[in-house]
Amino acid sequence: MSVSIRAIFPICLAVCGVFCPGCEKNADPKLDEAAFTSDPLMQSKSSQENSGAATAGSQPEIPTISLGGGSASADKRNGATPVLTPEEHRRQLLAAMMPLQVLLGQWHGTTQRQIGQFKAVDEPSWVWDFQTDKNQPALVMTSATSPYIRSARLTYLTERDIFQLQAVDPEGNSRVLEGTFSSPVEEFQGDDQKMHVKYKLELTQVEPAQQRDQWQIVFNQQENNRYLQEMAKKRGANYLRVDTVATQRQGTSFAKSDAGYGEKECLISGGLGTIQVSFQGKSYWVCCTGCKAAFEDDPASWIAEYNKKKSGKSM
């Protein structure tokens, strides 16, 4: 029986591979490729891989969707903007604005430069406003005598991590200024043995009607009972200070003691309560007339939210 050389050639190669592994390096690469693709099992695996690659390349990845069970931290891990409930948004806003709580109350200020024949008087009054937009509360200010700002609304934009001031000047012009702390918030013990706060909040006007009339305002908090309102206008590439209003508190100080606010914590803002309110026979504290008005509008909702916060439950 004659045996074809073509038939015994694969057997020789196999024997060579067992007893002389180095011989494989001399094998014909075209033959190796043919042997690989002729294996049915490898053909099936290769086919599946090619099919999967084609599918992945032709169809977009399906995004993960959370229906009510997601969290802000999970959203951040996935690279998405966290979706906050109104209560969570308000809590973040109030936490960011807590250092500005010291602005609450009545103040008396005088300008550094003369306006007309005399230095001008400024008598700003700051309160919380939760009624205009409960989900975007703000510190609001009015002054019947200010030469610069007759009314203002100061809030915090959580989605942008920035403070925003909407101001109206004596001529009725509206200006929007935005910024953050140029000097960080610092607490220190004052001569009265109470904790005081100082900082510099720098706000620059955005989209001014006229570039030569672009404002910059710095609230330079010196201590709980004194702050400087530094006014500047843009000149060339820089801002030139045009005036400073030295402002002193009138009446009650909103100083924080070493022991914190205790039972006098404001039910709404979380600051130091100075006004007592009641509902269904129980007393609570609020920090200003603005919070008092908000409480009287809807006491049950504010009490429920406060109790959730105190119990540590997520909202």
Q: Which residue has the higher pLDDT, 262 or 28?
A: 262
CATH 2.40.128.20, applies to 87-257? yes
Please give the full DSSP string across 67-88, using - where no structure is assigned.
SS---HHHHHHTTPPP---HHH
pLDDT per residue as tens digits for the range 222-268: 999 999 999 999 998 899 999 999 999 997 655 555 556 778 899 99
Strand ranges (E), 131-269: 138-142, 151-157, 162-168, 174-189, 195-205, 215-223, 226-235, 238-250
Is the model's pLDDT at 113 over the cut of 70?
yes
CA distance 71 to 84: 9
Helix axes 299-311, 289-297, angle to 10 degrees: 110
* pTM for the predicted model, two decimal places: 0.70
**What residue type is assigned to position 308 of the chain?**
K
CA distance 143 to 203: 19
Q: Which region among 50-59, 230-239, 285-294 has the lowest average model confidence (pLDDT)?
A: 50-59
Structural domain spans, the chain: 87-257, 259-315
Pairing mode of beta strands 226-235, 275-279: unpaired
Question: b/e string for 281-301 if b means 16 or more Cβ within 10 A?
Answer: eeebbbbbebbbebbeeebee
* Residues in the chain, overall count: 315
pLDDT per residue as tens digits for the range 161-173: 999 999 999 999 9
Please give the full DSSP string across 231-252, using - where no structure is assigned.
EEEEETTEEEEEEEEEEEEES-
Residue whose structure tokens are 């190669």: 13
